Amino acid sequence: MSQALGEIIKVNLRNPRRVVVRVKSLKDNAVIEERKTPASLTMSYLVLPPEHKLPAMAQLLEKLEPRPQRAIAFFASCFSVKYFAMVLPSILPPGYSVVPFHGKMEPPARERSFARFTGSSSPSILLSEPTPFGRPSAH
């Protein structure tokens, strides 16, 4: 993640968390390349007025080639995640499943949602909020 993207995240999210992933390419048990993110990971953001955000998200997902197998959309609160989990299926391109994941879900429900997202064989979008792991937050 670039420094500029890190600054945007700090401005727009309350209590952001940074996750670092290291990927090693191996050939004959020797490390060829070590990367902080997988080569296939694409991060995007758009700055839009609120009324344009959902149509732009649907349009972006429709036009991306190759079609993303998994995507994560961040929302401001648990309530937003619940609301958009009901609204987005009618707006998104056909074939996408929507998986809610937020801090007010019971731990077993969060685990099921995450497993559903990571194990999905069709394109899926995980809807999350800044503190989905049960940390205290102001909702």
Q: For residue range 1-37, what is the model confidence (pLDDT) as tens digits? A: 566 666 666 666 666 666 665 656 666 665 556 566 6
70 & 127 share domain: yes
7 & 70 share domain: no
17 & 62 share domain: no
d(CA 60, CA 122): 17
Number of domains within the chain? 2
Percent of the chain clearing pLDDT 70 (strictly above): 64
Q: Which of 75, 24, 68 is nearest to 42 (CA)?
A: 68
Q: How big, in percent rounded to 5, are the helix, strand and coil portions of the chain?
A: 35, 20, 45
How sure is the predictor about 124, in pLDDT bands with cuts at 50, 70 and 90?
very high
25 & 61 share domain: no
- 23 membership: H or E segment, kind and range: strand 23-27
Domain that holds residue 5: 1-42
- What pLDDT does 12 receive? 61
For the chain, give the longest Cα–Cα distance.
Answer: 52
